[in-house]
Amino acid sequence: MEPCPVIIGVGRTKFGEHYETEPEKLVLEAGLMAETSAGIERKDLDACYLSDYFLQITNKIGIEEGFLSEWLELHIPMEKSRSFSSALLNACHAIQSGKYGTVFVGGVEKMTDRWDKIRDDLMLLEDPWSYYAGCTPEANHELMLREYIKKHGISGKSLDTFYTALAQIAVKNYGHALKNEYAHNPHGATSVDKVLKVRSEEHKPLGRYDFAPISDGATALILASPEVAKEHSEQPVCVVGSSSATDYVTFPSREDRTGFVASRIAMKKALETAKIKMDDVQIAEVYDQSTLLEMVSLEDLGFTKKGKSWLDIYNSCEDYKGYYEVDGRRLFVNMNGGLKADGNPLGATGGAQVFEVVKQLNDEAGERQVDADLRFGCVLELEGFGTKAYVHLLRRGLA
């Protein structure tokens, strides 16, 4: 078995609006926390992998790496990519190749600085052709919902159950976020009725409480080789599988529009690399830009059957015990509140997902700590509307 890269420390800022703080300072704050928890100094770093989607546009910032170099007085290699997961994937490759021993992975986004234009930016980022045709960041979710209902023939009473299940996801995630001191939006809908009421007021299949907010924030982690990890870390978490896949940029042109092919492929490959089975995964942070995406992601990752996810969710949430129950198996999903309630500062989001799984695996999640002997966790991060999918599989302990 190849040596796995090891996460030896994680850090993050609170997600929300940070109008007093420059983006580069947010990433320093998260970075300092990660370094402290890893017990390393910045001089120990061999390289940095950073992620942000569009700081150049939202913040008129120059070369992000330069700011970090200036703040840290470092001249080591620094690379920038879009999502936190893509930065992490590249960092993993570098560690696995033996090139570096200790690497900093940091993500940041400052979206509220461009409040007035952010939805146009988000849509152009997602797919310019859909934007030209009038698409909004929410519309593709609603189209996928229509496709899903049609393909699986959900109607009548089942349709009510389906919509209730989506509302239950929102309530569940807000509930989780109440125990998350870093969450952007913990005080959302406390009841299914509230979610349904807002939808009906807005005349929408998915309402305000079904979508993730627009956030600022930063996240970071320290990734190390097993040798370095042995020296530094008492609570190492191994990245046993990491994979990504890509799909067409224009959602309508995809063959299957009831889920994400990229997620399915990425999960399959990640499981192969990790040499574990889907059943081994007990906790998952999935990319719930909307409640619908949490639902379809469970199917894409293989946790639930195609077209049946909503039933499992509904049955688990009628009397929610802190996990989804699928075929008698417990699955803890989005324990930090998900993107929906924890927040979604694009370039930093994946870092918060990893943060949560690492904390849970290490039994350090405080109030949110799940009542289970966790060994394997999974993080699914998307770019665009399923144009890219990244899956990271994490394991507690070095072996």
Partner 1 sequence: MSSEPIERRVSYIGDRLRGSRCGVCGKEYFRPRDYCGDCGRKSFDKMEGVDFFYEKGKLEVCTVVTEPTNRFTKLGSYLYGVVSFHDGKVRVPGRLTDRILSEGDMDLSNFEGRDVVPRFRKRYAVSQSDIIPTISLAFTFADEYYPHQDYKVSKPRKEYETPGIVGYGVYVSKFRIKEGAMERSLPFLDEDAITAAVEAGKLSLIHSGVDQSLVGKVYVGSESNPYAVKPIATKVAQTLKLGEEEKMDGVQGVDAIDTEFACKAATSMFKDATALAYYPKAPTPYTMVIGTDNSQAAPREEPGGELDFFVGYGGSAFIFGKHDVIAEVEGWYSCTSDTPDFWRRDLEPYPRHGGRFTGEPAYFKHIAKAGIKLMEKLNLQPGDVDYFISHQPNIPYPVRVAEALGFKEEQYLPGLQVAKFGNTYSGSSPIGLAAVLDRAKPGERIVIVGYGSGAGSDAYSFVTTGQIGEKRRRQKFTVQHQIENKHVEYVKYETYRRFKLGL
The amino acid at 183: A
Using the rule CB under 8 A, which residue among 67, 174, 251, 323 binds partner 1?
251
Least Å from the CB of residue 208 to partner 1: 10
Least Å from the CB of residue 144 to partner 1: 9
Q: Is 257 in the site for partner 1 (CB under 8 A)?
A: yes
Residues 244 and 89: beta-carbon distance below 8 Å = yes
- Sequence-separated (6 or more) residues with CB below 8 Å from residue 311: 161, 165
Q: Is 307 in the site for partner 1 (CB under 8 A)?
A: no
Q: Is 147 in the site for partner 1 (CB under 8 A)?
A: yes
Residue 220 parent element (H or E): strand 216-224
For the chain, the helix, strand and coil percentages under 3-state DSSP, each to the nearest 5: 45, 20, 35
DSSP 42: G
Q: Which is nearer to partner 1, 209 or 323 (CB)?
A: 209
Least Å from the CB of residue 362 to partner 1: 41
Using the rule CB under 8 A, which residue among 59, 130, 233, 291 binds partner 1?
130
Residues 378 and 357: beta-carbon distance below 8 Å = yes
Q: Which is nearer to partner 1, 142 or 280 (CB)?
A: 142
Residues 1 and 238: beta-carbon distance below 8 Å = no
Q: How far apart are CA 57 and CA 396, in angstroms?
A: 38
Q: How far apart are CA 35 and CA 44, in angstroms?
A: 10
Q: Which is nearer to partner 1, 175 or 205 (CB)?
A: 205
Q: Going along 247-323, which residue ranges are E strands?
A: 281-285
Q: Is 279 in the site for partner 1 (CB under 8 A)?
A: no
Residues 38 and 232: beta-carbon distance below 8 Å = yes
Phi then psi for 318, rounded to 5 degrees?
-55, -35
Using the rule CB under 8 A, which residue among 43, 93, 99, 150 binds partner 1?
150
Least Å from the CB of residue 147 to partner 1: 5
Q: Which is nearer to partner 1, 254 or 388 (CB)?
A: 254
Residues 394 and 235: beta-carbon distance below 8 Å = no
Q: Is 146 in the site for partner 1 (CB under 8 A)?
A: yes
Q: Is 111 in the site for partner 1 (CB under 8 A)?
A: no
Using the rule CB under 8 A, which residue among 203, 319, 373, 399 binds partner 1?
203
Q: Is 156 in the site for partner 1 (CB under 8 A)?
A: no
Chain residues binding partner 1 by CB under 8 A are: 116-117, 119-120, 123, 127-136, 138-139, 142-143, 145-147, 150, 202-205, 250-253, 257
